[in-house]
Chain A
Amino acid sequence: MIEVKNINKKFGDRAILSSASVLFEQGKINLIIGESGSGKTTLMKCMVGLENVNKGEVLYDGRNFIAMDDREKKAIRKEIGMLFQGGALFDSLTAEENVTFPMTMFSDMSAEEKRERAQFCLQRVNLPNAGKLHPSELSGGMKKRVGIARAIAMGPRYLFCDEPNSGLDPRTSILIDNLIKEITYELNITTIIITHDMNSAIEIGDNIVFIYNGTIWWRGPKEEILKTENPEINAFVYASEFMKKIKKTFS
């Protein structure tokens, strides 16, 4: 469980997040949705400490991350798996080495065990034959999938994904959604996903947080977001013709 309390974040004098408070439950898939530029990535980066917050607390199962010193932060970060919006794979390493990297750093696994584990993770993101390729030889969607494989390699307690299925075809997208779902329920971890894709939101989300202009506009289980009358949410959720049709059939 991760609890965000009253986070304020400014870039220069531009307030990006103002008094954002929200609770992300354990064993559930928590989605963050909102327009482009509304501050979703910034919120995630503040939570993991890649951006310094101007004010506020982030509690990982009660432990206040913001107030920790570097050593304690490191300990928490070993429990975090994160997928970046652009993949952020290490250019100098192959896909397989990218996945084994955290194992090399933090475990005493043998080369054989690491390779097996990496192969297993790559298999799960449907890239069994990409192990030997460098990031420059992978497509955007493949990079993203290797990024997910790397994020789950060490069995994280907290999984952060920034747009895991943008740039993927519908089938691969569903595959990734299912993978994240399985991992979340199997390991009973706290999963937070930023997404634009209402399809996958309805598919896998348990709880949904809607960010609007840097504030937490709405939070609730996914069933309710389809029914709410809030105009900003409706404008976002029912932006596409497809979703409008769904709404009609529902009502």
Chain B
Amino acid sequence: MNWFFHLGRYFILLRKVFRKPEKFVVYRTRFIEEVDSIGLGSLGIVCIVSLFMGAVLTIQAAFNFTSPWVPLYAVGVAARDTLVLEFCPTIVSLILAGKVGSNIASEIGTMRVTEQVDALEIMGINSSGYLILPKIIAAIFVHPFLIILSMFLGLLGGYVAGVASGVVTSYKFIYGIQYQFLPFSITYALIKTVVFAFIITSVSAYHGYNTHGGALEVGRSSTKAVVYSSIIILLFNVILTQLLLS
């Protein structure tokens, strides 16, 4: 019952979000601001996480492939597949859900409890569209770039760690990365990224927009935003993998 209530209210909000904007120019400016805050603002954490996780994944793969029957370049193949298929699109999206999601929910939640949302409505502005649409579009636009960057940095981290620690040679690692590479895996990763970007922004905005009360409730909304967008991302990860890879 509770689930249905939230689901219904979520879709009603989405319908309002996607109404025709009052003034295109204003939305464009908002979009650029959001690309800046959602995209550039997350650059640091994405870079750090990808470099280190790529390094660890490579060393672990090498550690597991001790059998002489497994060729050395398999380390490259394993690192590439884990990074491209799962780590970059899903884990990085989960990290972005924590960063971007809590940010969106607390921003919109604060605007709600300090009546700024009401002030927008009173001016005759579609507050949900004005606040949420630029965020959704910006995330859908900018997250794929972040994920591509994350893939690149993950592989770079793996290469540096693998070669430096001597578990794999430079030639074998790069050969492994290229070995039987399916370009579709990038498409698959980007489809997931776009869906996850939509989930993060819309679910977090939903929780922020429906905040009532004061500072305490804003904090609560922001926690809920992260928890629910993470769960929904994991759920859709299974669904999309089933649809796209089987």
Which A residues fall within an 8 A CB radius of B? Answer: 45, 48-50, 73-78, 80, 82, 84-86, 88-91, 101-102, 104-106
A88/B115 contact (C-beta < 8 A), A105-B23, A106-B22 known: yes
Produce 1/0 per residue, B115-128, CB < 8 A to A.
Answer: 11011011111100
B26 interface residue per 8 A CB criterion: yes
A74/B116 contact (C-beta < 8 A), A105-B23, A105-B26, A106-B22 known: no
In the bound assembly, the distance between CA atoms of A236 and B8 in angstroms comes to 46
- Size of interface on B: residues with Cβ below 8 Å to A: 16
Q: List 11 A-B contacts (CB under 8 A).
A: A48-B122, A85-B115, A88-B114, A88-B115, A88-B118, A88-B119, A89-B116, A91-B111, A101-B123, A106-B22, A106-B23
Produce 1/0 per residue, B16-30, CB < 8 A to A.
Answer: 000000110010000
In the bound assembly, the distance between CA atoms of A213 and B126 in angstroms comes to 33
In the bound assembly, the distance between CA atoms of A82 and B121 in angstroms comes to 11
In the bound assembly, the distance between CA atoms of A104 and B30 in angstroms comes to 13
Distance of B187 from chain A, by nearest CB (Å): 37
Q: Are B26 and A86 within 8 A (Cβ)?
A: no
Distance of A200 from chain B, by nearest CB (Å): 23
Chain B residues contacting A88 (CB-CB under 8 Å) are 114-116, 118-119
Distance of B180 from chain A, by nearest CB (Å): 50
Q: Which of B3-43 contact A (CB under 8 A)?
A: 22-23, 26
Given A77-B124, A105-B123, 5 new contacts (CB under 8 A): A49-B121, A86-B115, A104-B26, A106-B123, A106-B124
The list of the 7 closest CB pairs from A to B, nearest first, reads A77-B124, A88-B115, A88-B119, A74-B124, A78-B124, A82-B122, A84-B115
A50/B124 contact (C-beta < 8 A), A86-B115, A88-B116, A105-B23 known: no
Distance of A75 from chain B, by nearest CB (Å): 7
Distance of B123 from chain A, by nearest CB (Å): 5
Chain B residues contacting A89 (CB-CB under 8 Å) are 116, 119
Chain A residues contacting B119 (CB-CB under 8 Å) are 82, 84, 88-90
Q: Are B22 and A80 within 8 A (Cβ)?
A: no
In the bound assembly, the distance between CA atoms of A21 and B152 in angstroms comes to 67
Q: Are A75 and B122 within 8 A (Cβ)?
A: no
In the bound assembly, the distance between CA atoms of A77 and B26 in angstroms comes to 19
Distance of B15 from chain A, by nearest CB (Å): 11
Distance of B122 from chain A, by nearest CB (Å): 5
A90/B116 contact (C-beta < 8 A), A104-B26, A105-B26 known: yes
